[in-house]
Structure 1
């Protein structure tokens, strides 16, 4: 797992398959999607597929979305476009 940057509170790293539950929590929230096209996911499988797609972008393009992870509890609190 590659870490791209870190701050005193956060780690910015690549998304991994184990992040599916955290991604689902974020991406199923209508408030999170208010400015992202208003298309929240409805199943964890959609989050798994999104992570696979993002990981393929890492391989093909050398870039993709990053996970924003709290250092204290390693919870995903955001994803960011790189």
Structure 2
């Protein structure tokens, strides 16, 4: 990523905290929740497609990321939990 010149996740969080004045100590919880929420939404879209309630072909691939997102949320919390 260094070659793209993009800030790291920590730099983005620090910058947001500095500019907003918010306490982002629990940012990992919000990120894990976002993973869970997105997994639920994608599963719902995929299930509707499978049941024939949607003809949008893009929904056929929505279920592919559900497993990854379902594993990522808890991993984020585990890795950020104080030892």
TM-score, normalised with respect to structure 2: 0.28
Larger proportion of helix:
2
Larger proportion of strand:
1
**Structure number with bigger Rg:** 2
